[in-house]
Each structure stands twice: as structure tokens, then as C-alpha cells.
Amino acid sequence: MFNIKMKDEVMVLVGKDKGKKGEVIGVFKNKNKIVVSNINFIKRHIKPTREYSGGIKEIEAPISVSNVMLICKKCDRVFRPKFDKLYNGKKIRLCRKCGEIVM
């Protein structure tokens, strides 16, 4: 089970954006990468078209899943999730430090 999903709050552990927090806005399971809002900006040169005048545009680039960790909303610390099953068989993610369910 992939432990990071859309709209999760994560913190970057390594790289130029180390220590920054952001929300996951894209997940690429086949490449083990995610896109985090306001993290890992790159510049792209865009040709002019009818809709866009062209120029240099900054966009968020994917970052490896191994370089980020989830943040618990209750205890506000980074954690590696613990997986458990509910009585109906549904898998859930739990914070190892405070036991809060991560949705």
C-alpha cells in the first residue's frame, strides 16, 4: 500500500527544500514520485501561443516519495504510518506517535 495520498500534509527531508511543508497535489505510483505544492520549483521556457504570451514559467516538479514524510495533524510531527484494519476489513493509516487516524 502506498503510504502517501492526495491532500496529505508532508515535510521534505532532503534537498534544496529541506524542512519545508506542503500539501500533496499529484501522485505518480508507477514512478514513486509525488508533486507537493510550493516545493521543488523548476523553470520552463514556453513558446508563445494564442493563449499564452510565452516566457519563463515556474512549475512544481515531482519529488521522490523517499524524500518526504507525512505530518500528523494532531501532534504536528513527522511519522512513518502504521497500517491497521478496521472491523469491516478496510485498511487505515495510523500515526505511530499519537495513534491518530490519518485520512
Report the run of H or E that residue 27 belongs to, with start and end: strand 21-28
Q: What is the pLDDT of residues 43-61, one digit of tens each?
A: 999 999 999 899 999 999 9
Query: How high is the pLDDT of residue 1?
Result: 55
HEC per residue, 30-74:
CCCEEEECCCCEEEEEECCCCCCCCEEEEEECCEEHHHEEEECCC
**pLDDT (mean) for 91-96:** 91
Q: What is the pTM of this model?
A: 0.84
Domains of the chain, earliest start first: 9-102 (2.30.30.30)
- Asked if the model's pLDDT at residue 10 lies above 80, the reply is yes
Q: What are the beta bridge partners of residue 60? A: 41
Q: How confident is the model at residue 39 (pLDDT cuts 50, 70, 90)?
A: very high
